[in-house]
Amino acid sequence: MRVFRNATLPDGRTRDVAVADGKIVAVQSNLFGETEVNAAGKRLFPGMIDVHVHFRQPGFPEKETWETGSKAAAAGGVTSVVDQPNTEPPTIDKGTFDQKAALAAQSLVDWGINGGVTADWDPEGLLSRPVFALGEVFLADSTGDMGIETSLFEEAIRRASETGTVVTVHAEDASHFDESARERDDPGAWSAYRTPTAETVAVAHAVEVAQEFDAQVHIAHTSTPEGIDQAAAAGATTEVTPHHLFLSTDDLDELGTFGRMNPPLRDEDRRLAVYDRVADGTVDIIATDHAPHTREEKDASIWDAPSGVPGVETALPLLLAEAEAGRLSFERVRDLTARNPARIFDLPNKGRIEAGADADLVLVDMDTTREIRGEDLHGKTDWTPFEGMTGVFPEMTMVRGEIVWEANDASTGAGSFGDPTGRNLRKRMDEP
């Protein structure tokens, strides 16, 4: 049995936390074990559940792999990830699901695989597999060109409702893109093109269809306060990405095409309003939309560069720095990254530090911060849109009781990784 002695939990209590056989077995005072970790003065969090990553396999291993992506996740305190379907081939039937699941065996962290919806999808075959959720279902084209028509979206919602499957929606309506922005070539042109209205109209449509079929819809990467409020009023859940939380169009002069993503960055007033909704509990989840591209690909015109930025290693460190500065509570960080994802996506063993839960734990020293540098991160890309910002990175990350990351140099983020021990989040631990 391993015991974290005198750890400060997100709610401020100081407790010993005992781990054995992959589970948390006790949370109380005066525990002792064969192995003890001195956690006095440090904080212990449940591992982040990132329900929105693009680990790029199969199809684009030069951008990311399950091995490199999961190492970045572990080094950033993420203990579970959910991969999206827009790979090559896309994950739209049982064969492509099985292909991706075999690659996920390289993962250090637990994983889920979302099923995609296209004109060629095989819903019966796909839903015969342990998919995490449907989606992200694209209501406008993004990376992978998987945008679908309304009738197909309604079919996907109906099938999801029948099987009790959550539908994750990429909410943008291309009919509200501003074509006049295409006359521009500055970095802000992409934000002008994919308008805030495109998001709000698509959110309204998605929640209306969900209500018609009594389906559970989760709106991915909401970038506007209006979209967040619409979803919340309709009973849908929402996620916000770190880039929409911490960056705005004010940063585009410095970021250039490295700040292009879908949906795009919004103006500073909208960013601040989104932050308010993250802080006050309106937003349910922080998820990264980790979508790496090579530096060579991004170094192009605003119309030719691919959309997407890396973020799985830096999300929790950025949020912890916000909590240390007093702008978010530690409990709010826990809820956004662990408790709420576990609740929304029915992961009863995840997201909490309680006896009986999986021992997915992250130990951090809040007095140890460092500047984020792309060259120090562990994914395949050597760049980050958060260059120079301050983060609080984990000393140790544990997945079901196994140490998958242990830092040994706080100044650079160097450390050692464990073995690939990740499992499908939709399978029981006693399944092969």
**CATH number where 12 lies:** 2.30.40.10
Is residue 230 located within the same domain as residue 87? yes
Cis upstream peptide for 263 (omega within 30°): yes
Q: pLDDT tens for residues 189-220?
A: 999 999 999 999 999 999 999 999 999 999 99
CB atoms within 10 A of CB 254: 13
**Domain boundary pick from 318, 344, 370:** 344
Contact predicate 204/172, CB 8 Å: no
Q: Residue 422 falls within a domain, yes or no?
A: no
**Domain boundary pick from 298, 317, 344:** 344
- Which residue has tokens 């994983």? 111
Is residue 296 located within the same domain as residue 391? no
SS3 110: strand
Is residue 317 located within the same domain as residue 168? yes
CA distance 7 to 361: 11
Is residue 362 located within the same domain as residue 339? no
Q: Measured over all CA atoms, what is the biggest interatomic distance in the chain, rounded to whole angstroms?
A: 67
Q: Residue 193 falls within a domain, yes or no?
A: yes
Check residue 431 and give its pLDDT. 44
Q: Residue 430 falls within a domain, yes or no?
A: no
Is residue 152 located within the same domain as residue 263? yes
CA distance 13 to 126: 44
Closest CA to 159 of 196, 131, 193: 131
**Domain boundary pick from 344, 364, 387:** 344
Is residue 56 located within the same domain as residue 196? yes
Enzyme catalytic residues: 289
Q: Residue 432 falls within a domain, yes or no?
A: no
DSSP states of 175-209 as a string?
A: GGS-GGGGG--STTHHHHHS-HHHHHHHHHHHHHH
Q: Residue 425 falls within a domain, yes or no?
A: no
Is residue 141 located within the same domain as residue 228? yes
Is residue 27 located within the same domain as residue 52? no
Q: At 321, which CATH number?
A: 3.20.20.140
Check residue 141 and give its pLDDT. 55
Check residue 143 and give its pLDDT. 53
Is residue 282 located within the same domain as residue 380? no
Count up the domains in the chain and report the number. 2
The HSE-up count of residue 165 (CA atoms within 13 Å, CB side) is 28
Is residue 376 located within the same domain as residue 402? yes
Is residue 218 located within the same domain as residue 172? yes
Exposed / middle / buried, residue 158 (Cβ in 10 Å: 0-12, 13-18, 19+): middle
Range of the domain at 74: 47-344
Is residue 250 located within the same domain as residue 271? yes
Beta strands 370-371 and 390-391 are antiparallel
Q: Residue 278 falls within a domain, yes or no?
A: yes
Check residue 148 and give its pLDDT. 60
Check residue 89 and give its pLDDT. 97
Residue 417 CA to chain centroid, in angstroms?
21
pLDDT 10s digit of each residue in the chain, 432 long? 999 999 999 999 999 999 999 999 999 999 988 999 999 999 999 999 999 999 999 999 999 999 999 999 999 999 999 999 999 999 999 999 999 999 999 999 999 999 999 989 999 999 999 999 998 887 765 555 545 678 889 999 999 999 999 999 999 999 999 999 999 999 999 999 999 999 999 999 999 999 999 999 999 999 999 999 999 999 999 999 999 999 999 999 999 999 999 999 999 999 999 999 999 999 999 999 999 999 999 999 999 999 999 999 999 999 999 999 999 999 999 999 999 999 999 999 999 999 999 999 999 999 999 999 999 999 999 999 999 999 999 999 999 999 999 999 877 889 999 999 999 999 743 344
